[in-house]
Amino acid sequence: DTGSGLASSPRIIALANQKGGVGKTTTAINLAAALATSGLKVLLVDMDPQGNASTGLGVGYDARRSGTYAMLEDGERAAAVVQPSAVPGLSLIAADTELAGAELELVMSDRREYRLHEALAQVGADYDVILIDCPPSLGLLTLNALVAAQSVIVPLQCEFFALEGISQLVRTVNSVRQSLNPALKLDGIVLTMYDRRNNLSELVAEDARSFFGDRVMETLIPRNIRISEAQSHGQPVMNYDQRSSGSLAYQALATEVTDRLGLHAVTKGKAR
């Protein structure tokens, strides 16, 4: 505690990769749930118009009341659009149905890259960690996430062409750091859908380690059917099947992320 009496600001982490289907949303949901279960106050922001993070936490399409779009339109609404989830300590800003039009509308708005940053400043003091689930593109929604965040975590699917497009993502992160957000760091790569019976998974892991060195998380997320089943039931895997390999892996990832990013310290600095 700095003794200043000011609430400490949260660590904001964007889950980004312009490829779809690599595990961004799955990692956002399950990392958020595991961090919350470890005692941190966590907010998950669904920035993908597909709304899979919202669905995966039990907020289906028909239940999408005001969420991310309303907040980007008017940052003052941030606190009003936060909703609780079934996981204690985990709150959600869901993708509302209008979010699909936001990318285009943002182009014409003031301070268009800072909308999320400014909105989250309204609610940040209530959380230790904010995770942002990005859409599969490097457009304005992802740019808003990169401007709001201090950390980027990139899920990489252990499949052919896993690293394709990665240098473009790294360039984007670097240029955001140089222009809009000097605090931004690429803090980690998470290998997802790892299959130890398949040599390809190990080859992707080796490639990722030679490109990113120790920024590759030691925790490997296995391919595990319970993970996708849980999502279709609107639950994090640790609530759906706590002993499954997917659940154990995401709990281990939460511990690793907590250590690597020093998330303990944020909590300790908080009066609770």
Query: Can you give the binding site for Mg ion, defined by CB under 5 A?
Result: 24-25, 48, 52
Mapped onto helix, strand or coil, the DSSP state of residue 68 is: helix
What is the x/- site pattern for ligand ADP, positions 227-256, by CB under 6 A? xx--x--------------x----------
Identity at 35, one-letter amino acid code: L
Does 136 sit near ligand ADP (CB under 6 A)? yes
The secondary element (H helix, E strand) that includes residue 203 is: helix 199-212
Instruction: Give the three-state DSSP class for 229.
Output: helix
User: Using CB distances below 5 to 8 A depending on partner kind, what does residue 119 bind out of Mg ion, ligand ADP, none?
Assistant: none
* Residues from 35 through 64 that contact ligand ADP (CB under 6 A): 52
Q: How far is the CB of 220 from Mg ion (least distance, A)?
A: 20
Tokens at 255, concatenated: 């511990």
Residue position matching structure tokens 């499949």: 159
From the list 62-70, 108-116, 208-216, 217-225, the region that binds ligand ADP by CB under 6 A is 217-225
By CB under 6 A, tell whether 89 contacts ligand ADP. no
Query: 2 in helix, strand or coil?
Result: coil
Given a contact cutoff of 8 angstroms between Cβ atoms, the answer to whether 164 and 44 are in contact is: no
Please work out the total of residues on this chain that contact ligand ADP, with binding judged by CB under 6 A: 18
In degrees, rounded to 5, the angle at the alpha carbon of residue 117 between the alpha carbons of residues 236 and 21 is 40
Q: List binders of ligand ADP among 189-208 (CB under 6 A).
A: 192-193
Q: How many CB atoms lie within 10 A of CB 138?
A: 19
Please identify, using beta-carbon distances, which residue of 49 and 124 lies nearer to ligand ADP.
49
Residue 170 burial (CB count, 10 A): 15
Would you tell me the crossing angle of helices 115-123 and 140-148 to the nearest 10 degrees? 50
Contacting range for ligand ADP; rule: CB under 6 A; set: 98-106, 138-146, 160-168, 219-227 = 219-227
Among 6, 7, 21, 86, binds ligand ADP (CB under 6 A): 21
Q: Which residues bind ligand ADP (CB under 6 A)?
A: 20-26, 52, 136, 192-193, 221, 223-224, 227-228, 231, 246
